[in-house]
Chains A and B, each alone.
Chain A
Amino acid sequence: MNNFALYGTNAIIESAPLAMIMADTSGSMVTVNKDAEQLFGYQRRELLGEPVELLFPKRFRNSLTIPQGNSRDKRMAHPAHISGREREIFGLHKNGKEFPVKVGLNPVRTHSGIFMLAGFVDISDRKSLEQHLQERTLELERQTGELTRAYEALERSNMELQQFVYAASHDLQSPLRSISGFVQLLEEDYATSLNPETRECIRRTIENVEQMKTLIRDLISYSQIDAHSIPFEPTDMNQVFEDTTRQLEASILETGAIVTRDTLPVVSGDRLQLVQLVQQLIGNAIKYHSNKTPRVHMSARKNGTAWRFRVSDNGIGIAPKYQSRIFSLFRRLHTQQDYPGTGVGLPICRRVVHRHGGAIWVESEPGNGSTFYFTIPITGK
């Protein structure tokens, strides 16, 4: 060993801010810096002249020495197969504990010959972080899997429920048709011979059948909102409004309602369902009118990433404490005598709006009319 020749190299190694060890071609350590002492827990003098294998667990030792060329003399000790590249292996501390370490190997040519210079970085922290990260990833994957399964189960039960409602509604129509038919036959055949009280019973029976028919029809359309959906297409809301007012012509004429609109935007949606939505909202605005001439106005305004539509009326209004329940199925605020209805209309609206990725709500004060808002996201293009 020519210490003089190595002097410059040693100075560099000693001052380097990471653990460095240099070994000769036989694998004996010739230089160990302070950081290396700390990393492996040895005094320098305990290592100098010792084989570099000392610093690695047994399982790595076979791969530590690999032949350089054919000569056994030129065997060079290093803890990885390829020099000049970084490797992640385990180091062995003097106390017997292993720790993950990153090793960089480089041959160094000096006047005294070729040495192998190894730099070590303790990567315990990074490894434990990585392990933690991996565990978290696995946990997340597991949770995602669970969520996906739960979502699929929910979707399945939702579909089943829709099919159930649809099938049940259809099956309910059949006996209802018979009841209605037979009662009407009774009424026709015995109209003159029945006393007023019996005729009133028949009239009420027919009336109830009619109401149930409406209910079933509404339930069917409620159950179909998600089931029979068609792809969204650009839909002109002005056209939707016009279609709606045409369909509501009878009640508009009957009440003398004034139904107006601003210029409305084109949205991406299911046209028939949007007509259903607007028809319900305007229909309600007319239906729940006060003693004033019903005035209904529809407008829209861009609100961030969505269109916010507004249907306002001058009707009877809704007390704040009831405003949240009106969107729930079968929740009504009035008797059949005051305002006939099925309690399915606004739930249909809510479902249509949700299917379009928007929200629906109402602002109202009793006696001061109601304003229904709904949003529809603005899609790209």
Chain B
Amino acid sequence: MTETSALLRTPNILLVEDNENDVILTRKSFQKNQLSINLHHVENGEKCMEFLRKQGDYRDAPTPDLILLDLNMPLMDGREVLAELVVDEQLSHLPVIILTTSDNDRDVLKMYQLRCNSYITKPVNYKDFMAIVKQIWDYWFKTVELPVAH
């Protein structure tokens, strides 16, 4: 049985991740947890900004309810994305979860200073990762109120 969110519609999640394996595994963990989402994927920061601003190939893209942002990516990395998001009036309300392999103290501090909504280091064990995906769902789509842009 698939869980539905408090949104009463299928949540849109934007996964900003350059590693294809991680994209598949993330998608699979939502499936395995039986969580119904629309998982959109872009592979670097530049495409992420285009997606959010509905530019280029992303003219019809939905505004995501949640952004899962990797830090280390080619072209424009996650740090730059977040720095740009928070100063953009149109986008600064979007919840951003940093989902990365880096557990570097400076990264963690910097991202919270930029007001990320939480910082998660990807566990090496897949079962642990599955549990985290479920927690993300429970918290963001069953517990909190999400902003609605006017």
Instruction: Give A residues with C-beta under 8 Å from B.
Output: 170, 173-178, 180-182, 184-185, 188, 213
Contacts and interface: CB of A to CB of B under 8 A. Distances in A.
Interface string B53-68: 0000000000000000
B126 interface: yes
Contacts of B123: 177
B25 A170 contact: no
B19 interface: yes
A42 to B, nearest CB: 83
Counting contact residues on chain B (CB < 8 A from A), the size range is: 10 to 19
A191 B22 CA distance: 23
A185 B22 contact: no
A230 to B, nearest CB: 12
Given A173-B101, A185-B28, A178 B21 contact: yes
30 contacts: A170-B101, A173-B124, A174-B19, A174-B22, A175-B21, A177-B21, A177-B22, A177-B25, A177-B101, A177-B122, A177-B123, A177-B124, A177-B129, A178-B19, A178-B22, A180-B124, A180-B125, A181-B21, A181-B25, A181-B28, A181-B126, A181-B129, A182-B21, A184-B126, A185-B25, A185-B28, A185-B32, A188-B32, A213-B124, A213-B125
B127 interface: yes
Main secondary structure of the interface of A (DSSP, over half): helix
Contacts of A185: 25, 28, 32, 126
Contacts of B126: 177, 180-181, 184-185
A176 B127 contact: no
8 A-B pairs with the lowest CB-CB distances in the bound complex, closest first = A178-B21, A181-B126, A181-B25, A184-B126, A213-B124, A177-B124, A180-B126, A174-B101
Nearest to B26: A181
B101 A182 contact: no
A99 to B, nearest CB: 69
Nearest to A184: B126
Interface centre among A178, A181, A188 (most CB of B within 10 A): A181
Interface of B: 19, 21-22, 25, 28, 32, 101-102, 122-127, 129
B86 to A, nearest CB: 27
Nearest to B105: A228
Nearest to A189: B32
A337 to B, nearest CB: 22
A188 B21 CA distance: 18
Nearest to A212: B124
Contacts of B101: 170, 173-174, 177
Contacts of A178: 19, 21-22, 25
Nearest to A214: B124
Interface centre among A180, A188, A213 (most CB of B within 10 A): A180
A175 B101 CA distance: 11
Nearest to B32: A188
Contacts of A181: 21, 25, 28, 126, 129
Contacts of A184: 126-127
A64 B101 CA distance: 84
A170 B101 CA distance: 8
Contacts of A173: 101, 124
Contacts of B102: 170
A176 B25 CA distance: 13
Contacts of A174: 19, 22, 101
Contacts of B122: 177
A175 B122 CA distance: 13
